[in-house]
């Protein structure tokens, strides 16, 4: 116990020091991210050995993970902010669906240029998140309920725009969707690049800005954060605004990926996003986690889908089953880690 | 000696809650470079005064002058910005962040909006160093014990080193019962830090229930009673007896009464018998007998297994070995319900987190255990219920004597009484009291001790746990001595048993 070395310690405390070291090692906040990363690598290596002859080893198969899951990554990054602050956002999927409908309708039916529609869609998403954050903070209502209301609201708004799906034939959208950024060994879509940029920005914000640290502080202990004089309300509202913005951006990426708007797009995707965040090692109670973990969470989920495609004989429902098993396992790991930390 | 100008002056402070006047015209002043104790019984208005000062409560009357300027705080943040920092009994920091971050969060050094981690760690290390502490600032706060966390909270409130960052410039440091969960070494470390800050010119307002600590570290004190100012004194001018009389407003006769309480030797037949009861990691197997009408006191240091022993007897933890018989019948003790059915009641030491429901009324809290014992399908008739509640409010002198008052609003001592009433109403055979007097004032303490004596005279057995040996010695017929999670001795109380004898037994740890 080096903490108060000034005072001589009469009581036998030698064992405490070694125990503290062990606790610190097991309680290291980076451990869950490492576990997820290791899991991803193990799965990838297993996939390599099993489907080598079917082209699993191609670099493009790996890059496709980013192309096929870019929108999920962006949505999950937004969810990471919210969960890190100790909250939850259930409106993600609806917001994505709404954004696809909204942009498709503006581009196809109203003939607005994409350049105008994109910022508009992002602004609507951010504003939706802001409103939910405002209600959560000012009326002290559980985020679960408020964002559940958001879930229904935005899904309903999809149907107000149109009951049928709107396919997008606009040339600029088509070009954008087809554009590939070459990396030598393979290429990435615009959506994947955007997702990686968002990841980098989010990591910077969470680690290097006061806002980011406030998110951690509030997730760690909201009451303490308030008493330490941190602007609780502003931070909470900002967190939901970030999540709304990310959802709208994910919606745009999803629209690029699918090239249509549909009132039933991305139903339940908020749950995928939450699953990715948790598998990535962020504590559901908030205050602990890394956005890099979320990346691995998304990659693990994406890899499960790839593996099932390569297997060929398995139904796509196995994705859900595998996700469920993984989620359960990771929650249990988190549980044992937090209980150790307390001990 | 010419007195310097006070850094803080509060005049005619009034604070009212619905139906209660918590503070009526209190004056208070604080000088730079002094440690000032705020004294008073529970409910005297200490907490209210502090909360008014730190902006948690708004002011209903009076003025606050800080550094010659009239101020009025709408939030803790405003008070902090004006230079009034508070460290509470519960550590209000974020355990998931590093020590350095906890010191700096909200005012981290940044360049172009980017947090300069290296500089922050360096400055935090310098600050910790200057204050004579040895803490690794990069480690997460949760890796340190509570005492160190408390020191970190003080470091945070004192602010940055050079002031080239955004220093807080703390003028007034409020320490609200920081010592209640610290051991002796940790308290000394805290005092050293307090003295250093005082010498640097910080005015420190210190609240503690331990009179010895007040006399050890404070320069001046202000005494409150029932929301009014009783007086301001230099600590060296007022002795402990005088202080207590000021606090409770009457002479110490009733305290003396207890000392003369005769120990009865004619305790009844065995009520509780534990044989080889133990739990790995909790307490080593022990044999214990408690007779009818006996008060068994447990003495031992913090962490010696006092609470663990009590929890086993209540079925709150499951024993690995041994058996318990109560009134001749073996009880399985697999859950508290078994113990409750057998007539055991347990008042936890954490009355806030494990006992009371703060949002329910006094009446609802009192009736809770009795209702649970009857089962939810058999409500207690309203008239009988009100009568019972009224009886116990009167018997225990719960203030305010309003069954509809919310328990969360009561002072600590009165909350403790409500918790006691809840268990007494079920008329248990064995009452386990774990630190019933911790954090409550001397008047309420005496009342609770008197109550224990009269309960035992009525034939109830009591297992009494208290940190203060005098208290155990005064009340118990038999004293169980614990050391390192082992019941090492059983002493029958008598004239030859003294606190030093108990301390010797703890120190030697010999079986007797």
Q: Would you call B94 and A217 a contact, using CB atoms and an 8 Å cutoff?
A: yes
Nearest CA in chain A to B148: A3
Residue B360 in this model has a pLDDT that exceeds 50: yes
Same domain for B204 and B88, yes or no, is yes
- Beta strand B172-176 with B203-207 is parallel
Supply the range of the domain harboring residue B417.
352-427
Q: Are B295 and B475 in contact (CB under 8 A)?
A: yes
Residue B303 in this model has a pLDDT that exceeds 90: no
Q: Token pair for residue B441?
A: 């004032």
Q: Would you call A229 and B76 a contact, using CB atoms and an 8 Å cutoff?
A: yes
| Domain-located, residue B3 | no
Task: Count CB neighbours of B376 within 10 A.
Answer: 7
Question: How does the average pLDDT of chain B come out, rounded?
Answer: 82
Task: Collect all residues of chain A within an 8 Å Cβ-Cβ radius of residue B193.
Answer: none
CB contact, 8 Å: A214 with chain B? yes
Q: Are A115 and A250 in contact (CB under 8 A)?
A: no
Same domain for B145 and B39, yes or no, is yes
What is the pLDDT at residue A25?
58
From first to last of its 343 residues, chain A has per-residue pLDDT tens of 344 434 333 333 444 555 556 555 556 778 888 889 999 999 999 999 988 888 888 899 999 999 999 999 999 999 999 999 999 999 999 999 999 999 999 999 999 999 999 999 999 999 999 999 999 999 999 999 999 999 999 999 999 999 999 999 888 888 999 999 998 888 999 999 999 999 999 999 999 999 999 999 999 988 888 878 788 899 999 999 999 999 999 999 999 999 888 999 999 999 999 999 999 999 888 888 999 999 999 999 999 999 988 888 888 888 889 889 988 988 888 777 766 554 4
Same domain for B473 and B499, yes or no, is yes
What is the pLDDT at residue A269?
93
What is the pLDDT at residue B262?
47
Same domain for B507 and B416, yes or no, is no
Same domain for B362 and B444, yes or no, is no
DSSP string, B27-38: EEEE-TT-EEEE
Same domain for B298 and B407, yes or no, is no
- Please give the ipTM for the structure prediction: 0.82
For the purposes of burial, counting CB atoms within 10 Å of the CB of A251, is it exposed (0-12), middle (13-18) or buried (19 or more)? buried
What is the pLDDT at residue A303?
94
Nearest CA in chain A to B90: A224
Provide the domain count of chain B.
3
Nearest CA in chain A to B99: A3
CB contact, 8 Å: A4 with chain B? yes
**Average of per-residue pLDDT across B219-239:** 89
What is the pLDDT at residue B165?
37
Among residues A333, A324, A243, A340, which one has the least CA distance to residue A283? A333
Distance from C-alpha of A268 to C-alpha of B426, rounded to nearest angstrom: 51
A37 or B282: which leads in pLDDT: A37
Residues 6+ apart with CB under 8 A from B34: B198, B203, B204, B219, B220
> Which of B249, B280, B304 marks a domain boundary?
B249
Distance in Å, alpha carbon of B356 to nearest chain A alpha carbon: 20
Same domain for B335 and B366, yes or no, is no
**Average of per-residue pLDDT across B230-259:** 71
Distance in Å, alpha carbon of B287 to nearest chain A alpha carbon: 27
> Which of B375, B404, B427 marks a domain boundary?
B427
Three-state SS string over A188-199 comes to EEHHHHHHHHHH
Confidence tier at B263 by pLDDT (50, 70, 90): low
Among residues A66, A277, A295, A300, which one has the least CA distance to residue A191? A66
**Which one of A5, A28, A229, A286 would you mutate to disrupt binding with B, by most B Cβ within 10 Å of its Cβ?**
A229
Nearest CA in chain B to A9: B185
Same domain for B217 and B228, yes or no, is yes
> What is the value of pTM for the model shown?
0.72
| Domain-located, residue B85 | yes
Nearest residue, CB atoms, A224 vs list B86, B92, B186 = B92
| Domain-located, residue B2 | no
Task: Give the number of C-alpha atoms closer than 13 A to the C-alpha of residue B152, restricted to the C-beta side.
Answer: 35
Q: Would you call A220 and B96 a contact, using CB atoms and an 8 Å cutoff?
A: yes
What is the pLDDT at residue B67?
87
Q: Are A90 and A144 in contact (CB under 8 A)?
A: yes
Which range is most confident: B122-126, B167-171, B353-357, B400-404?
A: B122-126
Task: Collect all residues of chain A within an 8 Å Cβ-Cβ radius of residue B145.
Answer: 1, 3
Q: How many CB pairs under 8 A join A and B?
A: 106
Residue B475 in this model has a pLDDT that exceeds 50: yes
Residues 6+ apart with CB under 8 A from B167: B159, B160
Distance in Å, alpha carbon of A48 to nearest chain B alpha carbon: 38
Q: Would you call B106 and A210 a contact, using CB atoms and an 8 Å cutoff?
A: yes
Task: Collect all residues of chain B within an 8 Å Cβ-Cβ radius of residue A15.
Answer: none
What is the pLDDT at residue A340?
58
What is the pLDDT at residue B3?
61
Q: Would you call B114 and A209 a contact, using CB atoms and an 8 Å cutoff?
A: yes
Distance in Å, alpha carbon of B266 to nearest chain A alpha carbon: 40
CB contact, 8 Å: A287 with chain B? yes
Residue B405 in this model has a pLDDT that exceeds 80: yes
Same domain for B63 and B168, yes or no, is yes
> Which of B403, B427, B451 marks a domain boundary?
B427
What is the pLDDT at residue B160?
46
CB contact, 8 Å: A219 with chain B? yes
**Which one of B76, B106, B193, B302 would you mutate to disrupt binding with A, by most A Cβ within 10 Å of its Cβ?**
B106
Nearest residue, CB atoms, A230 vs list B105, B113, B145 = B105
What is the pLDDT at residue B415?
84
What is the pLDDT at residue B445?
80
Confidence tier at B426 by pLDDT (50, 70, 90): confident
Distance from C-alpha of B466 to C-alpha of B473, rounded to nearest angstrom: 10
Secondary structure class of B217 (helix, strand, coil)? helix
- Chain segment B339-349, per-residue pLDDT in tens: 888 888 888 77
**Which one of A11, A18, A220 would you mutate to disrupt binding with B, by most B Cβ within 10 Å of its Cβ?**
A220
- Chain segment B76-92, per-residue pLDDT in tens: 778 888 888 888 877 78
Residues 6+ apart with CB under 8 A from B356: B365, B407, B415, B418, B419
Nearest CA in chain B to A11: B185
CB contact, 8 Å: B59 with chain A? no
Same domain for B283 and B358, yes or no, is no
Share of chain B above pLDDT 70, in %: 90
List, as ranges, residues 135-174 from B with C-beta within 8 Å of A: 135-136, 139-140, 142-145, 147-148, 151, 156
- Chain segment B182-211, per-residue pLDDT in tens: 777 888 888 999 999 898 888 999 988 777
| CATH code of the domain containing B15 | 3.40.50.300
- List chain A domain ranges: 69-276+283-296
| Cβ burial B32-45 (10 Å sphere, 16+ → b, else e) | bebbbbbbbbbbbb
């Amino acid at each position: 116990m080096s903490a108060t070395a000034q005072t001589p310690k009469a009581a036998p405390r030698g064992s405490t020091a070694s125990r503290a070291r062990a606790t610190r090692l097991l309680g290291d906040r980076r451990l869950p991210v490492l576990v997820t990363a290791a899991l991803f690598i193990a799965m990838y290596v297993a996939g390599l050995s099993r489907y080598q002859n079917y082209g699993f080893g191609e670099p493009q198969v790996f890059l496709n993970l980013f192309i096929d899951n870019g929108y999920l990554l962006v949505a999950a990054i937004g969810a990471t902010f919210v969960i890190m602050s100790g909250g939850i956002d259930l409106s993600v999927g609806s917001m994505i669906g709404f954004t696809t409908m909204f942009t498709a309708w503006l581009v196809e039916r109203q003939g607005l240029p994409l350049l105008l529609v994109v910022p508009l869609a992002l602004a609507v998403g951010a504003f939706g998140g802001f409103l939910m954050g405002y209600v959560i903070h000012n009326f002290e209502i559980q985020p679960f309920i408020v964002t559940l209301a958001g879930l229904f609201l935005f899904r309903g708004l999809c149907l107000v725009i149109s009951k049928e799906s709107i396919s997008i034939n606009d040339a600029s959208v088509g070009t954008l969707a087809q554009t590939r950024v070459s990396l030598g060994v393979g290429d990435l879509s615009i959506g994947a690049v955007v997702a990686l940029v968002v990841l980098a920005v989010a990591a910077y914000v969470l680690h290097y800005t006061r806002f980011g640290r406030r998110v951690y502080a509030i997730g760690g202990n909201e009451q303490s954060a308030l008493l330490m004089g941190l602007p609780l309300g502003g931070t909470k509202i900002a967190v939901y605004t970030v999540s709304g913005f990310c959802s709208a951006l994910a919606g745009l990426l999803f629209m690029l990926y699918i090239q249509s708007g549909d009132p039933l797009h991305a139903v339940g995707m908020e749950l995928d996003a939450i699953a990715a965040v948790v598998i990535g090692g962020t504590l559901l109670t908030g205050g602990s986690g890394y956005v890099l973990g979320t990346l691995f969470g998304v990659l693990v989920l994406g890899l499960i889908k790839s593996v099932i495609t390569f297997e060929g004989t398995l139904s796509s429902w196995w994705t859900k089953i595998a996700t469920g098993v993984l989620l359960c396992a990771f929650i249990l790991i988190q549980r044992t880690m937090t209980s150790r930390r307390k001990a | 000696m010419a007195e310097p100008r006070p850094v803080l002056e509060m005049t005619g402070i009034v604070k009212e809650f619905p139906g209660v006047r918590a503070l009526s015209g209190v004056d208070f002043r604080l000088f730079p470079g002094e440690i000032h104790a705020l004294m008073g019984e529970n409910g005297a208005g200490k907490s209210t005064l502090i909360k008014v000062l730190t902006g948690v409560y708004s002011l209903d009357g009076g003025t606050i002058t800080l550094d010659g300027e009239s101020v009025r705080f709408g939030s803790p943040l405003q008070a902090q910005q004006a230079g009034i920092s508070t460290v509470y009994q519960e550590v209000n920091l974020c355990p998931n962040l590093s020590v350095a971050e906890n010191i700096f969060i909200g005012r981290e050094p940044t360049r172009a909006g980017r947090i300069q981690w290296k500089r922050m760690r360096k400055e935090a290390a310098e600050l910790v160093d200057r204050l004579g502490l040895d803490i690794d600032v990069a480690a997460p706060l949760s890796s340190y014990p509570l005492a160190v966390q408390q020191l970190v909270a003080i470091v945070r409130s004192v602010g940055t080193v050079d002031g080239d960052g955004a220093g807080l410039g703390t003028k007034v440091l409020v320490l609200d019962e920081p010592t209640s969960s610290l051991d002796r070494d940790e308290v000394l470390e805290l005092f050293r830090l307090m003295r250093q800050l005082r010498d640097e010119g910080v005015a420190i307002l210190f609240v503690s229930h331990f009179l010895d600590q007040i006399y050890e570290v404070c320069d001046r004190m202000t005494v409150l009673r029932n929301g009014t100012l009783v007086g301001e004194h230099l600590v060296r001018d007022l002795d402990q007896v005088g202080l207590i009389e000021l606090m409770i407003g009457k002479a110490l006769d009733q305290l003396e009464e207890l000392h003369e309480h005769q120990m009865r030797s004619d305790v009844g037949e065995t009520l509780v018998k534990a044989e080889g009861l133990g739990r790995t990691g909790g307490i080593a197997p022990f044999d214990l007998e408690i007779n009818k009408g006996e008060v068994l006191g447990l003495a031992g240091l913090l962490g010696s297994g006092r609470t663990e022993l009590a929890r086993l007897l209540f079925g709150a933890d499951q024993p690995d070995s041994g058996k318990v018989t109560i009134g001749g019948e073996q009880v399985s003790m697999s859950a508290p319900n078994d113990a409750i059915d057998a007539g055991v009641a347990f008042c936890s030491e954490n009355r806030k987190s494990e006992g009371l429901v703060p949002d329910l009324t006094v009446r609802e809290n009192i009736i809770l255990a009795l209702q649970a014992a009857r089962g939810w399908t058999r409500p207690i008739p309203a008239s009988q219920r009100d009568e019972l509640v009224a009886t116990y409010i009167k018997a225990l002198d719960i203030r305010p004597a309003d069954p509809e008052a919310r328990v969360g609003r009561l002072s600590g001592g009165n909350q403790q009484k409500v918790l006691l009433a809840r268990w007494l109403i079920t008329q248990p055979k064995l009452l386990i009291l774990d630190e019933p007097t911790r954090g409550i004032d001397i008047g309420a303490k005496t009342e609770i001790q008197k109550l224990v004596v009269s309960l035992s005279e009525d034939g109830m057995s009591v297992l009494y746990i208290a940190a203060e040996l005098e208290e155990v010695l005064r009340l118990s017929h038999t004293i169980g001595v614990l050391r390192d999670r082992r019941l090492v001795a059983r002493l029958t109380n008598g004239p030859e048993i003294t606190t030093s004898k108990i301390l010797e037994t703890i120190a030697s740890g010999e079986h007797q």
